[in-house]
């Protein structure tokens, strides 16, 4: 996109640290914040809804997905600032809609 080049850095090792607490309240809060983050990254609302539906089978069942969607739409309706440039958001949303259309063709 726009002539950008992607590079990898195999000499660096990164470790993803999961949530220290595994209780329901912590999990719901993490999902809520992820919903806000998804909005700030410019995710298309229809794509977010479809992701939410596909995640309902993950623990915590239904509640985790619902809290993520609530976070997303809280950010949407409160006019939270989009953290990426407009052209990046536009590109991301176009790609997400292409994925949804391709998925719809398979069904």
Residue pLDDT, tens place only, 60-79: 889 999 999 999 999 999 99
Residue pLDDT, tens place only, 88-101: 999 999 999 999 99
Q: How far apart are CA 84 and CA 28, in angstroms?
A: 25
Instruction: Report the pLDDT value the prediction gives residue 73, as an integer from 0 to 100.
Output: 97
What is the per-residue burial (b if ≥16 Cβ within 10 Å, else e) of 52-72?
beebeeeeeeeebbbbbbbbb
Instruction: Report the pLDDT value the prediction gives residue 20, as an integer from 0 to 100.
Output: 57
Residues 6+ apart with CB under 8 A from 40: 75, 80, 81, 82, 83, 84
Residue pLDDT, tens place only, 16-64: 665 555 677 788 999 999 999 999 999 999 999 999 999 888 888 899 9
User: Is residue 15 scored above 80 in pLDDT?
Assistant: no
């Amino acid at each position: 996109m726009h002539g950008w080049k992607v590079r990898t850095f195999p000499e660096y090792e990164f470790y993803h640290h999961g949530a220290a607490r595994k209780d329901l309240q912590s999990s719901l809060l993490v999902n809520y914040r992820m919903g806000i983050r998804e909005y700030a990254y410019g995710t298309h609302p229809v794509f977010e809804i479809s992701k939410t539906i596909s995640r309902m089978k993950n623990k915590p069942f239904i509640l985790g997905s619902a809290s993520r969607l609530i976070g997303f739409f809280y950010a949407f309706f409160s006019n939270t600032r989009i953290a990426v440039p407009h052209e990046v958001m536009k590109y991301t949303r176009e790609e997400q809609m292409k994925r949804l259309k391709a998925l719809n063709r398979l069904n």
